[in-house]
Structure 1
Amino acid sequence: MTAPLVRGSWQARTVRQVSALTARRLAAAAPVNACTLPLARMLIDQALRTVAPPLSGTTVEQVRDGRITGEWVRGPRTGRTDAAVLYVHGGGFVAGSAAGYRGVAARLSTATGLPVFAVDYRLAPEHPYPAAPQDIDHAFRWLTGRGHAPGRILVAGDSAGGFLAADFVITRARTGLPAPGGVVLFSPMADLSLEVATGYEGARACGLLSAGLSRRAVTHFTPDPYQLLPARGLQLPPALIHAGDTEFFGGDAVALAERWTATGAVCDLQVWPDQIHAFPVLPLLIPESRLAYRSAARFAAAVLTPTAAAV
């Protein structure tokens, strides 16, 4: 585990403190149901477009191909075609979209030099488990069917999307299928029962999420919450995990990194001080997000080499 900074920026601390007094209180009191979700989804997407607008020069290609829905996002000066990123957005399994995360995908694309396919997986409660995992699996297969070898694909995601991305990689390894080249996770969930999160000391300082809100969202996704528990010896690809030490799912990130390395795989866990949940998706507010993207770029360059697995 590494700590990139000793102390977070004043911007990061301010965002977390202000959010704790506003967004966290409102979210904790809000019901998560068929009546509130349409408005919540719209507000979340609009907020993401505001704090992470697409970079100037970004190109977007929307995809509707059978069961595959999403969009290709290419940041400015992104010309590589030898590899790709599959991005799984966050939103507590009940919100978020490829369009809302377009600015996040653009920054990841620019940092890595790679095209990013942001998959629009089906959301709960309209489409509970296993709809989302199925959609992610189909998206990965769709990419391989278009010439991207598994070892030339980087799988990335944040929050609930981080859970889905890691779950996909672990499930693929259990079935003996070729692994992606690597995994990049921003503040991933790892235990849907929330036992790890609620037992993490830093969770009390989170400026956004609470146990009640998270539990309501998870219940819509599955009535049988489960943990990510890769078995020792499982052939997992290298992973990079970013998380804050003052966020609700910080303990999940630590636990997942420990479990990843216990299999014998490589996992670089970077815990950032004073950060709100999924801080890399807030680039206009938090300067550390740029450092996280640069770290992801270095990781991608290391794992997606020309000699990476091509089958």
Structure 2
Amino acid sequence: MTLPARGSLRARSVRQLSALTARRLAEFAPVNAYTLPAARALIDRAMRAAAPTLRGTSVDQVRSPAITGEWVRGPRSVRTDAVILYVHGGGFVAGSAAGYRGVASRLSTACRLPVFTLDYRLAPEYPYPAAPRDVAAAFRWLVTQGHHPDRIVVAGDSAGGFLTADFAITNARDGFPAPAGIVLFSPMTDLTLALAAGFEGAAAEGLLSAGLSSRAVAHFTPAPYELLPVRGRPLPPALIHTSDTEFFGGDGVALAERWAAAGAACELRVWRDQMHAFQVLPALVPESRLAYRAAARFVSSVLDTAAAAV
């Protein structure tokens, strides 16, 4: 586990200001069919402001009965030997490929790879298992497009991190080839919220709360569950980034321990003084850029290892 030095003044200020404003407003906000359309639009606008798309990025939309999303290629996306499948966050009820275009642009640029951002079906219109099925379908679709499983890295943040790890566990259980690796930014890993409730740093979170999170999860599934990898199954190597001052900080640490206990390689990095999913806020949080660089190093290492094994 890597524990960096104390977070920047800007990161701490963003987290503290958000805790006094956005968290208080969101804590008791209803999450229902009446509020979600406006909330989704607001979240997408906020994402585009916090992570503007890099100049020189190309975007190709994919709209078919089987899959929906965007191919995003950042200005330094020169590699064609592998791809990244990105699963966005948003508490299972919000978020979109268009809203995450800037995030995909930066990840693509850092890793020098094309990124396919999936528009999976959202709750409550499409509850569990719609989203997990969409992630699995996207991975299979990439394979049909000529990308071997060990040349695909799956990444996600928050709820998208949950779906990414859930896919890797289910994929291993069902005996399908594993992706080259997974990258998890501030992942949720226990939908019962028991880990979050017991994590001391959760109180310092700048955005999420137990009330807001439980309402979102309830729309996704009436039977919340934890991610429990099983030893002996071919899990891919994982990179997990979390923080000591975020609501789901304990989730990331617990999953890293479980991943390693299951016999798979796992790199855990606990950032200090960061709010949940700070990695998707590059215009606000300087450490976000460092997180992309760390992800790029991990992606390069797992792809190089897979190539060497051929």
TM-score (norm 1): 0.98
Residue 146 (1) aligns with residue 145 (2):
yes
Identify the residue that residue 294 of structure 1 maps to in structure 2: 293
Identify the residue that residue 230 of structure 1 maps to in structure 2: 229
Residue 116 (1) aligns with residue 151 (2):
no
* Alignment deviations for residues 164-206 of structure 1 (CA, whole Å, 9 cap, x no partner): 0000011000111100000000000000000001110000110
| Cα distance, 1:262 vs structure 2 | 0.5
Identify the residue that residue 184 of structure 2 maps to in structure 1: 185
Partner of 2:304, secondary structure, is coil
Moved more, 231-240 or 283-292: 231-240
* Alignment deviations for residues 69-119 of structure 1 (CA, whole Å, 9 cap, x no partner): 000000002121110000000000000000000000000000000000000
* Alignment deviations for residues 40-63 of structure 1 (CA, whole Å, 9 cap, x no partner): 000000000001010000000000
Residue 13 (1) aligns with residue 6 (2):
no
Moved more, 211-220 or 60-69: 60-69
Distance (Å, rounded) in 2 between the aligned partners of 1:171 and 1:309: 26
The residue type paired with residue 253 of structure 2 is V
Q: Aligned in 2, Cα 1:152/1:40: closer, same or farther, shift over 3 Å? A: same
Cα RMSD of the aligned pairs, angstroms, is 1.2
Residue segments in structure 2 that go unaligned for 5+ positions in a row? none
Identify the residue that residue 169 of structure 2 maps to in structure 1: 170
The residue type paired with residue 22 of structure 2 is A
Identify the residue that residue 105 of structure 2 maps to in structure 1: 106
Identify the residue that residue 252 of structure 1 maps to in structure 2: 251
| Cα distance, 1:307 vs structure 2 | 4.0
Residue segments in structure 1 that go unaligned for 5+ positions in a row? none
Identify the residue that residue 2 of structure 2 maps to in structure 1: 2
Identify the residue that residue 22 of structure 1 maps to in structure 2: 21
Distance (Å, rounded) in 2 between the aligned partners of 1:207 and 1:135: 30
Partner of 1:300, secondary structure, is helix
Distance (Å, rounded) in 1 between the aligned partners of 2:242 and 2:118: 22
Residue 68 (1) aligns with residue 98 (2):
no
The residue type paired with residue 176 of structure 2 is L
Identify the residue that residue 269 of structure 2 maps to in structure 1: 270
* Alignment deviations for residues 188-234 of structure 1 (CA, whole Å, 9 cap, x no partner): 00000000011100001101100000000000000000000011222
**2:206–2:246 CA contact under 8 A, matched in 1:** yes
Distance (Å, rounded) in 2 between the aligned partners of 1:99 and 1:229: 31
The residue type paired with residue 46 of structure 1 is R
**1:151–1:310 CA contact under 8 A, matched in 2:** no
The residue type paired with residue 217 of structure 2 is V
TM-score (norm 2): 0.98
Q: Which runs of 4+ in 1 moved over 2 A?
A: 306-311
